[in-house]
């Protein structure tokens, strides 16, 4: 066992749930990133299976449609040896009028060990966590938080750049509706990055300076000298009314093309949490460019979620 692996094994993550990145300390974040870094390397080897969660049950409870996140958690759980159940809410009793608390009580009676929850309402995952005896992981609640996305993004940045502290990260696009943006701002600030936000005024929250980042309504200025340019999806399904005049105009001013990217540092990396709207928030030529680490984000998603499952499982009592 190497010194790095030994260090990861001896550290501890003293939390029962992962509902938000807010409140996580630098050492706790690095513990998860170091653990995920190890899993990322091991996932590239032939033997990918572990028995960390052998005998444990993981339920993926998604009240919103998801491809990447749900598949990522399913693969993470299976690679750690868990019994994984994906609960399809569209065909469940929720559609028949069952409340969230009823669902929580029902699932708790099945005695799962970990539940991964995605819900369209902010705060719903925390409410559910109060009604169950197992560990709960927030896979996205409304426009509030998406902690594992922030962790996988940080892991991707650290593997590409060797560090996070001191880097300038420009997060551009639909800040108002983005749980990804909120989680990333908190986590990256905690790790010492300089965070910039770029969006039209209609897609910025009230008092955006409270988020702890520099705020720009001119994307050209926001990406100037940036080490990382992180694009966000235009979340039209969360919009009530018109927030942008047209998709064409939005792309002209806030879509990432090679002209805007040229303002960033020559070795800047491009990120996107997916799914991408090509020609809306990012040009295909940029998404597929060598500077893009979007595919790496998908790969790191499995490793980061394995780390979270592993860390929380260490605190589970034997039942």
The domain that holds 14 is classified in CATH as 3.40.50.1370
115: β partners = 59, 136
CB 256 within 8 A of CB 172: yes
Q: Up-side HSE of residue 289: CA atoms within 13 Å toward CB?
A: 20
CB 229 within 8 A of CB 172: yes
Same domain? For 136 and 222 the reply is no
Same domain? For 277 and 305 the reply is no
- How, if at all, do strands 83-88 and 57-62 pair? parallel
DSSP classification of residue 113: S
Q: Which residues are annotated as a binding site for carbamoyl phosphate?
A: 68-69, 118, 146, 149, 274-275
- 14-18 contacts at long range (C-beta below 8 A, 24 or more positions apart): 14/315, 15/311, 15/312, 15/315, 16/135, 16/312, 16/315, 17/129, 17/135, 17/136, 17/137, 17/138, 17/312, 18/135, 18/136, 18/137, 18/138, 18/147, 18/148, 18/308, 18/312
Q: What does the pLDDT read at residue 87?
A: 87
Q: How many domains does the chain have?
A: 2
Helix (H) or strand (E) holding 158: helix 147-161
Same domain? For 156 and 25 the reply is no
Same domain? For 32 and 134 the reply is yes
Same domain? For 75 and 160 the reply is no
Q: Which residues are annotated as a binding site for L-aspartate?
A: 96, 179, 233
Same domain? For 3 and 84 the reply is yes
Same domain? For 84 and 182 the reply is no
Range of the domain at 105: 1-143+299-315
pTM greater than 0.85: yes
Same domain? For 138 and 174 the reply is no
- How, if at all, do strands 194-198 and 168-172 pair? parallel
Same domain? For 88 and 200 the reply is no
Q: Which residues are annotated as a binding site?
A: 68-69, 96, 118, 146, 149, 179, 233, 274-275
Main-chain dihedrals φ then ψ at residue 7, nearest 5 degrees: -65, -45
Same domain? For 90 and 9 the reply is yes
Same domain? For 161 and 123 the reply is no
Q: Up-side HSE of residue 17: CA atoms within 13 Å toward CB?
A: 20
Same domain? For 139 and 1 the reply is yes
Residues 98 and 20: their CA atoms lie apart, in Å, by 26
Instruction: Give the position of tokens 């997916």.
Output: 274
Residues 25 and 52: their CA atoms lie apart, in Å, by 25
Mean pLDDT per 10-residue interval, the chain, length 319 residues: 48 89 96 97 87 95 90 97 86 66 91 95 94 96 96 98 98 94 97 97 87 94 98 67 73 95 98 92 96 97 98 80
């Amino acid at each position: 066992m190497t010194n790095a692996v030994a260090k990861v094994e001896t550290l501890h993550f003293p939390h029962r749930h992962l509902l938000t990145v807010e409140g996580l300390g630098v050492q706790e974040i690095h513990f998860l990133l170091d653990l995920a870094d190890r899993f990322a390397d091991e996932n590239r080897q032939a033997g990918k299976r572990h028995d960390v969660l052998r005998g444990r049950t993981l339920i993926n409870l998604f009240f919103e449609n998801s491809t990447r996140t749900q598949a990522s958690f399913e693969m993470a759980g299976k690679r750690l040896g868990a019994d994984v159940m994906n609960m399809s809410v569209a065909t469940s009793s929720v559609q028949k009028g069952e409340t969230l608390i009823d669902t929580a009580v029902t699932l708790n009676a099945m005695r799962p060990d970990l539940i991964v929850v995605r819900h369209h309402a902010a705060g719903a995952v925390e409410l559910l966590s109060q009604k169950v005896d197992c560990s709960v992981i927030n896979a996205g609640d409304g426009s509030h938080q998406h902690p594992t996305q922030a962790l996988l993004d940080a892991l991707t940045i650290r593997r590409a750049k060797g560090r996070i502290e001191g880097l300038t990260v420009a997060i551009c696009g639909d800040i108002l509706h983005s749980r990804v943006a909120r989680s990333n701002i908190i986590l990256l600030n905690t790790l010492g990055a300089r965070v910039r936000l770029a969006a039209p005024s209609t897609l910025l929250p009230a008092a955006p300076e409270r988020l702890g980042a520099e705020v720009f309504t001119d994307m050209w200025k926001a990406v100037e000298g940036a080490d990382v340019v992180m694009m966000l999806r235009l979340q039209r399904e969360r919009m009530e009314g018109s927030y942008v005049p047209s998709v064409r105009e939005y792309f002209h001013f806030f879509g990432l093309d090679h002209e805007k990217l040229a303002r960033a540092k020559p070795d800047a990396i491009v990120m996107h949490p997916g799914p991408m709207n090509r020609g809306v928030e990012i040009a295909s030529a940029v998404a597929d460019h060598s500077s893009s680490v979007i595919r790496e984000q998908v790969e790191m998603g499995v490793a980061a979620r394995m780390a979270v499952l592993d860390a929380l499982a260490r605190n589970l009592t034997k039942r």
